[in-house]
Structure 1
Amino acid sequence: MNRRDFFGLSATTALASAVALPVLADTKSSGKAIGGSEGMLQIQWLGGATMLISFDGVTLLTDPAFGIGEQAIMMPDPNEMFELAKGPKIRPMARFGPLSEFDLETVSAVLISHAHPDHFDAVAEAQIASDMPLVATEFDKKAIAEKGFTSISTLSSGEHMWLPTQSGQITITAVPAMHSENAGVLKILGPGNGYFFEFEAGNYRKTLYWTGDTFPTEDVINAVQVLGEIDVLVPHVGGVGSTGALGKISMEATDVVKMVDRLKPKSVLPIHHSTFDLFLEPIWKLAQAMDQHDANLDVIAEGSRIQYA
């Protein structure tokens, strides 16, 4: 069973990009950061893999999943045992708390690591404007376009995109995201992206690596290491799938520690945990595993903001 069948997506092949790669180059900065100093990197975690990343008048939205309540997201359950040939049952995934309020009008562009329903859900599809600039994998482009979105750029591993800000720029580089360490399962789940960001304005410079759903494989580590030092590592955790037929398809604490040991970031901001009943490993396990590490562990509540000076 391939990924598009597995996740209820179109079974057609992604089309070549119809939008020039630097689609974001013409995006105007909103001039509305989410609070505090606009000249510093700020992140608001909205739950799951959804963040608002704001810098110098530009705000980026990641992996939008806006559903709330007991039936927040309808998707196959990777935490159950099932026959791979038939696939899992579709069931609702509950969001345990409310979605924090935010203003979509301040968003300059949306970045999608991969288009599974817990990373781009039906509620977000309905609320985000069809002409919003989106960045995704080539694999997911056609399925996203079929939902009515008209301004989609694709980035493959190693490709860059530059986004001007009020007084500087954001450089975005795609890196591979390996959704499983099992080659057969990875083929079912399909390719994804992580993204490496460089935020520059005046004398200010910060780097951030948002992993997407991946494991610290050699391919991933090598692709990230060549991009330079990491100020902020944003890993997807939660141990999804560890009880199911696919096996573990998102990192647990031990995997994050391996990644930290190899990449040596200054700070670690874990997301993709606690929000939905999809996530199996509690975040306290990562806090415990990181207790003796030099990197700062920034565990923040959903809706909270953090600023990196």
Structure 2
Amino acid sequence: MTPDASATFIGNATIMLRLGAFTLLTDPAFGAAGSRVHLGYGVWTRRLRDPAMAYADLPSLDLVLLSHLHGDHFDRAARRALPPTLPIVTTVQAQRRLRRRDFAATGLPTWDAQEWQRDGQLLRVTALPGRHGPGFVDRLLPDVMGSLIEWEVDGERRLRLYITGDTLYRPFLSEIRQRCGEIDAMLIHLGGTRLLGLLLTMDGRQGAELTGLIRPRLTLPIHYDDYTVMKSPLRDFLVECGNRSLTGVQALGRGETISLSSISRG
């Protein structure tokens, strides 16, 4: 039987990825609508929508990918639910803080990778560059990483997936395609998050620019309507992509599972 690949949208940036023998979770946030999370410097935001499922509803996980240590990506509910022995792959900065809380965190510098093998399958996670804020403001925010997930079966590539993390669009992100090759699918973090008038995550226009830059076969928008700080709705992104005649963009409903098995370029 040919192994399957799928993505299930739980809410915000929380995605369950089932890639053959491996099951991953991204940016775990399981707080209910109405719960508040801390974004640093005394700033809080309130969740507007419930996640599609609780951590207890998930199958056994192999690892967690954490793009950065902000409350809307790793909230109190997730901290209570995750077993401390579950591997977390994240930034070097977040690794230090998570290990102080006794989590099994590994920090990857940009362009470094970690691999796992099982049943003739290989999973590789490579840390990719990102920029969470404009100019000097970025230095005040947690380090953020994108992730390239590559899945191979018997030496044959089945999927190359780019998860943007909470980056802004910047031309230097073109290096991702130059170094990593063609991208099968992209999970793009949007929302146009604003604090004190500053844009901290891609809005619809920036998201469309990155989609045109990376040119994946499939683009799945996430991270756009769960918290009060998000000011750019999904429609902004869809309209911008339509204006640029970008194809392969698909909205993913909360709780929906999409197959990723047939999109590899080989």
**TM-score for both structures, normalised by structure 2:** 0.90
What amino acid is aligned across from residue 153 of structure 1 in structure 2?
A: T
2: CA distance, partners of 1:294 / 1:66: 32
Instruction: Return the match for 1:57 from 10, 21, 27.
Output: 21
1:282 is aligned to 2:233: yes
2: CA distance, partners of 1:190 / 1:225: 26
- Check whether the contact 1:113–1:212 (CA below 8 A) recurs between aligned residues: yes
- Check whether the contact 2:69–2:142 (CA below 8 A) recurs between aligned residues: no
1: CA distance, partners of 2:226 / 2:177: 27
**TM superposition shift of 1:97:** 3.1
Give matches, 1:187-202, under 5 Å: 187-202=139-154
Q: Give CA deviations for 1:52-107 in whole Å, capped at 9, x if unaligned.
A: 11111211111101100212x32148xxxxxxxxx4x4435123234324644421
- SS of the residue aligned with 1:132? coil
**TM superposition shift of 1:223:** 3.6
Name whichever of 193-202 and 97-106 sits farther off. 97-106
2: CA distance, partners of 1:116 / 1:158: 22
Residue in 2 aligned with 1:112? Answer: 66
Task: Return the index of the structure with the highest Cα Rg.
Answer: 1
Residue in 2 aligned with 1:75? Answer: 38
Q: Where in structure 2 are there 5+ consecutive unaligned residues?
A: none
Superposed CA RMSD in Å reads 2.0
Residue in 1 aligned with 2:207? Answer: 256
**TM superposition shift of 1:167:** 3.0
- Check whether the contact 2:45–2:229 (CA below 8 A) recurs between aligned residues: no
- SS of the residue aligned with 1:196? strand
Residue in 2 aligned with 1:299? Answer: 251
**TM superposition shift of 1:289:** 1.4
1: CA distance, partners of 2:170 / 2:73: 22
**TM superposition shift of 1:225:** 2.6
Give matches, 1:238-249, under 5 Å: 238-241=191-194, 244-245=195-196, 247-249=198-200
Residue in 1 aligned with 2:121? Answer: 168
Q: Give CA deviations for 1:208-267 in whole Å, capped at 9, x if unaligned.
A: 1000011231332214431100010111000001xx326100001111111122211111
Number of corresponding residues: 258
**TM-score for both structures, normalised by structure 1:** 0.78
Inter-CA distance 109–298: structure 2 relative to 1 (3 Å threshold):
same
**Runs of 4+ that moved beyond 4 A:** none
- Check whether the contact 1:234–1:268 (CA below 8 A) recurs between aligned residues: yes
Inter-CA distance 64–204: structure 2 relative to 1 (3 Å threshold):
same
**TM superposition shift of 1:153:** 1.2
- Check whether the contact 1:179–1:191 (CA below 8 A) recurs between aligned residues: yes
- SS of the residue aligned with 2:96? helix
1:221 is aligned to 2:174: yes
- SS of the residue aligned with 2:180? coil
- Check whether the contact 2:24–2:65 (CA below 8 A) recurs between aligned residues: yes
Q: Where in structure 1 are there 5+ consecutive unaligned residues?
A: 1-36, 78-86
**TM superposition shift of 1:284:** 1.2
The structure showing larger relative contact order (alpha-carbon pairs under 8 Å, at least 6 residues apart) is: 1
Compare the two structures and name the one with the higher strand fraction: 2
